[in-house]
Amino acid sequence: MPLKELAERRNILHRKSDAQTVLRHVLSDVQIGKIALVSSFGAESVVLLHMVAEIDKNAPVIFLDTEMLFPETLTYQREVAASLGLTDLRVITPNRNDVLTEDVDGILHLADTDACCDLRKTRPLNAALQEFDGWITGRKQFQGGQRAQLPLFEKDERKIKINPLAKWTTDDLKSYMDAHDLPRHPLVSKGYPSVGCMPCTTRVGDHEDPRAGRWRNSEKTECGIHFTDGKATREGKAA
């Protein structure tokens, strides 16, 4: 079955399903195939991680360590993975030869943020996803931009991308975290409602958009791991 048709059929099937039902299905859906959860272990990531762990602690979870992350994120990642009992956590890093060739001094982001994201995010993730037929993301419609009409299932190149929390709100996320007593990312309480790489993430003011601290004073809003018509997304909100 063509991937676009498969995504459309799953959207119809799960038009009234909750996130847990969607996850239970995709983690065992033979038509979609082998699935991984891609998680940044960021401000809201623990919700989806907890849901997946409740269904199958052996489900593959990919964490992309760009080698530019906040120390707090790395600590949080280890603590959350351990507390949830995730048994197939795959920590992915940029290709060492590529880094030595293209960003040996770690300052590529100062000259070209897109090139830095390609080196440290897009290429490593694409390599890690080669063995999978689809992947789960934490993207949501309320994040705006191109995500305002985000479906539960979508065709992404030669894979199926699943967005179980597409219709969730910030209140939904908070309620779930509270109900399950889930640990918050330590930087959230310090003014970072959205956490990315350290050089390209700043604190956000009380009346600013939660995403305002990502690539501040730049037109860039996407890291490049999500695609539209085969091209890295340049508008909307990053995951």
Active site residue 223: yes
Classified by CATH at the fold level, domain 3-189 comes out as Rossmann fold (3.40.50)
pLDDT in tens, 21-64: 999 999 999 999 999 999 999 999 999 999 999 999 999 999 99
Measured CA to CA, the distance from residue 178 to residue 200 in angstroms comes to 29
Full-model pTM? 0.88
Q: Domain coordinates of the chain in residue numbers?
A: 3-189
Q: Which long-range contacts (CB under 8 A, 24 or more apart) does 13-21 make?
A: 14/152, 14/153, 17/152, 19/48, 19/51, 19/164, 19/165, 19/168, 20/51, 20/54, 20/55
pLDDT in tens, 169-201: 999 999 999 999 999 999 999 999 889 999 999
Candidate list 116, 117, 200, 223, residue with the active-site label: 223
Q: Which residues have a Cβ under 8 Å from the Cβ of 209 and sit 6 or more positions away?
A: none
Q: Which DSSP letter does residue 104 get?
A: T
